[in-house]
Amino acid sequence: MADNRLPEEGDRIAKLLARAGIASRREIERMIADGRVAIGGKVLDTPAVKLTSLKGVTVDGKAVGQAEETRLFAFHKPPAMLTTEHDPKGRTTIYAALRNALPKDAGRVMPVGRLDYNTEGLLLLTNDGEMKRAMELPSSGVPRTYRARAFGDITQADLDTLIEGVEIDGIR
């Protein structure tokens, strides 16, 4: 980079920094806009930078290490808990429970998919955004099994009509 040009190969810097556990890609883009990210001492003014490694990258003046190995965790989400990092209404999120459930060296993890507030069950978490996305997409072919319990009287004929979907307020 003797000619002061940044590399044009590799992955976008926000992706690499997110993979290193600094923050989410969107948060890293805000950090870049705030002038908090630099390469070789030069403060970035755009997230449209590709790199092959994080060598020479600093955030708030501190050198950034390389990304950790991909990790996958299984967590049983109890009911009355949101699958999100922050809730403006102050409701409990999975991250409150994860403080005690994950190993201390787990780093930043994100859920693969979501479970509703009152739903309980297996929730996978990973530190790898690409793996998370691949597992969430239906095209990946990852099998999913759901079990639901309903209260009240229902017949097999009632269930058979649901196979075609439902209509609520004129929307199918």
pLDDT digit string, tens, across residues 145-171? 888 787 889 899 988 988 888 888 998
Q: Which regions of the chain are under pLDDT 70?
A: 1-7
CATH numeric code, 11-63: 3.10.290.10
What's the pTM? Answer: 0.67
| Predicted pLDDT of residue 7 | 60
Closest CA to 43 of 58, 24, 54, 28: 58
Q: Return the pLDDT at 3.
A: 53
The residues spanned by each domain of the chain are 11-63, 72-143
The residues annotated with a catalytic role in the active site are: 116
- CATH number of the domain located at residue range(s) 72-143 in this protein: 3.30.70.580
